[in-house]
Structures are given as C-alpha cells and as structure tokens.
Amino acid sequence: MNKIRFREICETVPGIDNKSLPVKSIRIGIRYVTRVAGYSLSIKIIAFILRLFNVVRISRLSKYLVYLLKINKHRLSYLHCLAKNDLLGAAQNKIIWAEIASEVSMSRVSRCMAREYLHLLSSYGLADPSHSRSTPKTVNRSSHKFYLYGPNAKNAPRHDYEDYTLVLTKPIDTDISKFKDKQLFINSSYFNEVVIKDCDVSNRLIEEFGIVYVHCRESNLSKPFKRAKFPLGDNIAGPMALGRILYNLIQEYGEFTCVIEGFDFYLDRQGYQGYYPSLFRNSSNTTREQIICSGLANHDALYNFLYVKKKAENLNILDSREFKKILKLSGEGYLSELAKTRNFRSLCYL
C-alpha cells in the first residue's frame, strides 16, 4: 500500500459545486502547494490569498471560497502541530477551526459536528465552558451482555464470556466456535477490498456471524450484511471503530454490560496483533505508521478518546482492567501518552 498523500478538504453545500472551476482551482492549489512547499509555507501562502479576498466583492460563491481557504489553513496548522509531535497544540488549532465552522459554515452537518466537537471537549475542560450544554439521558438499561474483542488483545478470546455476544472488528484467525452469538463490524475498505472480491471470505462470514454490520454508505447490502448506523462526523472529527460500535450497540440495545479487550486507542506500539487481518500489514514500517497516524489525524484522536470515554460512563464494564486504566486518563494525559507511542512526524512525508 502506498503512503498517504495530502488532500485538501471541502464541504457539501447546497448550490455549490465542488467540481466547478473556481472551487476546483482553489482545492487543487491547496493540494499541490502543500505537497510541494509543506505545511508552514502553505499556511503563509493561504494567509496571503485570504488578504486578497478582502478586497473583492463578496458573493455566495466567494464566501464559500474564503471559508474553504480558512478551514484548510487551520487544518494545515493542525497537521503542522501533529507533525512536530505537539498534540496539545494541534488540539488548540482544531478548537479554533471548530469555532469558525460552528458559526460560518454553510453546511448544516459541519455546523452541527463543530458544535458537538466543542461541546465534548468543553465537558472535559478542554474548550471554553460556553460551548457546554445539557444532554438529556434517554437510553434505557439493557440486559444484553457483549464481549468487545479488539485488534490488539494479547490473548485469545476468553471462554469465561461464552454466554456474551462476541463483537469483532474483523474476522480473526482464532477459534471462536464456542461463542454462540457473534457480531462483526467491518469498515468500508475491508468490505469493498476483501469481502466483495473474495467469495470464500464472504461465505465464511455469512456462515459464522449472525449479523455483519458494514460501515459503508454506498454499497448494496443483503443479509447477513447490514448497514451500520453512522454517528455524527465530518472533516473536523468522527468516532473510530470502538466509538462506532458503542454507538450502534447503544442505539440498538440500550446501555448494556460488557467486557472490552484489545482496544488501546493506539497507545501500544504494536498497533494490532498477528491474528488481525490488516490491509496494510505488508507495508513498510514508515508507511504503516503514517497510515495509522493519518487515520488518527483525520478522525481526531482526542475526540475519539473522549467520545468513547463519554459513552463508557453509562455502561457496566466488567473486568477490562487495561481498558479502564486508559479511560482514567485525562484528555491531556491521553495526548501525552499518544505522543510517546506514535510517530506523528511521519505526517511530514506528504
């Protein structure tokens, strides 16, 4: 798998065509200036262009172009801090970006996500308290029990929890036949690159799992494949695998009892164990680390951590000693530990 190349961001806005000449020119300009000049110089170039826009007549299109330049400039500042391993500085830049989007974005989804981002961070003391709001509790307690087994568990699934529903993020090369109830959550990449193209894999999943949830908005699905529900997310942030699983299970069953193992928020250098089928297993160490860090940057590692932390507050989590230990970290503490483990400097190589 090739390394990740920088791409600009844009938003879906009614009446604006992101492939029109004016918008595409700005987008391509941001993309290739950044690839050639790097983050720091690109930020200065965009700042200069924004000053030029101050003297032109403001139409709906030009407002969008100005906004596009602004959010890409703040995203570059965010990535620049990450590439220097300054994760707290990156979070501070993301907060500024979210504040702009919450007020100025012409996309309702982006405004909502920005406000949700600021609300979550403020609830843990990381953003201005004015962004906080009350969140009414409407989810019922469930009798269901789940064993969430992630990609970095050090031991095989424990038979102590055979009466729990086993939940996986990929089909694993381990005997799980003793678990009578099993569910699988897979992302769109694995579904489109492996499941659809390999009948043996597809048939195995159909035979082995009662339900296979697919995080993909576009693919046509038939039983046992089922489209997963999507929590709010966009360019600013979005939950990763565990967050999406918790969102779906809570939506479906209410608040439940569970054991969570093998989810470490990328605080272990290993990333994932040998039993876990990764699409970039054969990549070089540098490329693999860049892919991991790019995913953490795009989803926002801090948001993902706090999102799970918030969801976990109302779950009955049994055992799960390592997972609970991580959840006790503050947002700043998590970023500090993440900076020790992951090589975000890999994001310099665009």
Strand order in 141-149's β-sheet?
Answer: 225-227, 211-215, 182-187, 165-168, 141-149, 255-261, 316-317
pLDDT above 60: residue 13: yes
pLDDT above 90: residue 221: no
Arithmetic mean of pLDDT, 239-251: 96
From CA 183, how far away is CA 169, in angstroms rounded?
9
Q: Where are the alpha helices (DSSP H) in the chain?
A: 21-53, 60-83, 87-104, 108-123, 188-190, 199-208, 241-253, 285-299, 301-312, 321-327, 331-341
What's the pLDDT score for residue 141? Answer: 80
pLDDT above 90: residue 335: yes
pLDDT tens digits for range 249-266: 999 999 999 999 999 999
Residue with tokens 């164990």: 273
What's the pLDDT score for residue 283? Answer: 62
pLDDT above 80: residue 326: yes
What's the pLDDT score for residue 56? Answer: 61
Arithmetic mean of pLDDT, 93-121: 97
Domain ranges of the chain: 21-131, 141-348
pLDDT above 90: residue 57: no
Arithmetic mean of pLDDT, 171-187: 90
CB 81 within 8 A of CB 329: no
Q: Which two tokens stand for residue 350?
A: 């665009």
Residue with tokens 């568990």: 153
Look up the pTM and report it: 0.93
What's the pLDDT score for residue 275? Answer: 67
pLDDT tens digits for range 133-152: 776 665 678 789 999 999 99
Which residue type is seen at 341?
Answer: T
Residue 38 region, left (φ>0) first, then alpha (ψ -120 to 50), else beta? Answer: left
What's the pLDDT score for residue 11? Answer: 97
The sign one gets for the Cα dihedral 168, 174, 177, 179 is negative
What's the pLDDT score for residue 200? Answer: 87
Residue 340 region, left (φ>0) first, then alpha (ψ -120 to 50), else beta? Answer: alpha
DSSP string spanning 215-254? Answer: E-SSS---TTEEEPP--S--SS----HHHHHHHHHHHHH-
Helix/strand/coil for 157:
coil
User: What is the average pLDDT score of the chain?
Assistant: 91
What DSSP designation does 77 have?
Answer: H
CB 237 within 8 A of CB 304: yes
pLDDT above 80: residue 162: yes
Tell me which of 173 and 240 has the higher pLDDT: 240
Arithmetic mean of pLDDT, 44-72: 88
pLDDT above 80: residue 121: yes
Backbone angles phi, psi at 263, to 5 degrees: -115, 110
What's the pLDDT score for residue 214? Answer: 93
Confidence of residue 268 (pLDDT cuts 50, 70, 90): very high
Residue 140: is it exposed, middle or buried by C-beta count within 10 angstroms (0-12/13-18/19+)? exposed
Arithmetic mean of pLDDT, 44-62: 85
What's the pLDDT score for residue 4? Answer: 80
From CA 299, how far away is CA 189, in angstroms rounded?
15
Q: Which residues of 104-133 are buried (b: 16+ CB within 10 A; e: fewer)?
A: ebbbeebbebbbbbbbbbbbbebbeeebbe
Residue with tokens 């009614």: 14
Residue with tokens 């699409």: 279
From CA 142, how far away is CA 134, in angstroms rounded?
23
What's the pLDDT score for residue 193? Answer: 87
Confidence of residue 273 (pLDDT cuts 50, 70, 90): confident
Which of 51-55, 113-117, 223-227, 335-339 is the least confident region? 51-55
What's the pLDDT score for residue 139? Answer: 64
What's the pLDDT score for residue 282? Answer: 55
